Copies of this chain bind each other. A is one copy, B any other.
Amino acid sequence: MIAPPQPPLERFAARLMRRSRFDDRDRAAFLALPAQPAQIRAHADFVRLGEHVDHACLVVDGLVARFGQNERGDRQIMAVHIPGDMPDLHSVVMSNTGSGLHALAATTLLRIPHEAIRDLTRSRPAVAEAFWRECVVDAAVLAEWVLNVGRRRALARTAHLLCEMAWRYGAAGTDRAFQFPITQEHLADMLALTAVHVNRTLKSLREDRVARTGRSMVQILDWDRLVEIGEFDPAYLEAGRELEPEASAACAA
């Protein structure tokens, strides 16, 4: 069941190689990974809470959230994954994580069997290290979320999230915009606020001409102020990038 190299896998390989060094054989072995495409409709939970999975997925297009919930059913989104991310790469070495995956928008995935990934990492140490590093970068984002949710007020917290997403989409800067098709309810689940309070917070950012959020877009009107309000420092997102130190330092505050 070896599939021919697919463009999304090529893109992910390129992404991995920004942070980790692959030789030609690593790259070839990686691209030989079997992968099965899947379409997920918006607002579907495609991995339920606590479910065991035997494959990891790569986001080709769309937006995916990893979530948990308390006993009252209040959801908490713990991570957001954009195209090029693998939301549950961790499941390769720990198959039951107790969290679920939800499509925030219509999403295209590539499913890759755990078994194939394990075989690959056992034969190619550089690939194993790259996957390890991806998981560690995800954990660094998670750590920043603990800080954000725990020690920042609603306004700073919201601004910080917008900064993070803008940065990850490569859209950091004044008068830039990016696709972010989520409801205020979903934002609330990311920020550990209520939808009502998210609404008021976004209103404040809008009225102060800092950022404007719409149905499916976020427009940044004043990047510097957004960074200042959100206490944003992209170091935690860039830390894995020893390989191209010069890249994307241009739009920093």
With most chain B CB atoms within 10 A of its CB, the pick from A90, A94, A138 is A94
Q: Which residue of B lies closest to A20 (CB)?
A: B93
Query: What is the bound-complex CA distance between A93 and B240, given in angstroms?
Result: 8
Number of copies: 2
Q: Which of A59-106 contact B (CB under 8 A)?
A: 66, 68-71, 74-76, 78-79, 90, 93-99
A: number of interface residues (CB 8 Å): 55
Does A125 belong to the interface (CB within 8 Å)? yes
Binary contact readout A148-175 vs B (1 if CB under 8 angstroms, 0 otherwise):
0111100010000000000000000000
Give the B-binding residues of A (Cβ under 8 A): 50, 66, 68-71, 74-76, 78-79, 90, 93-99, 118, 121-123, 125-126, 128-129, 131-133, 135-140, 142-147, 149-152, 156, 192, 231, 233, 235-236, 239-240, 242
6 inter-chain pairs at a CB distance below 8 angstroms, sorted by A residue, are: A69-B147, A76-B150, A90-B140, A93-B133, A93-B240, A149-B150
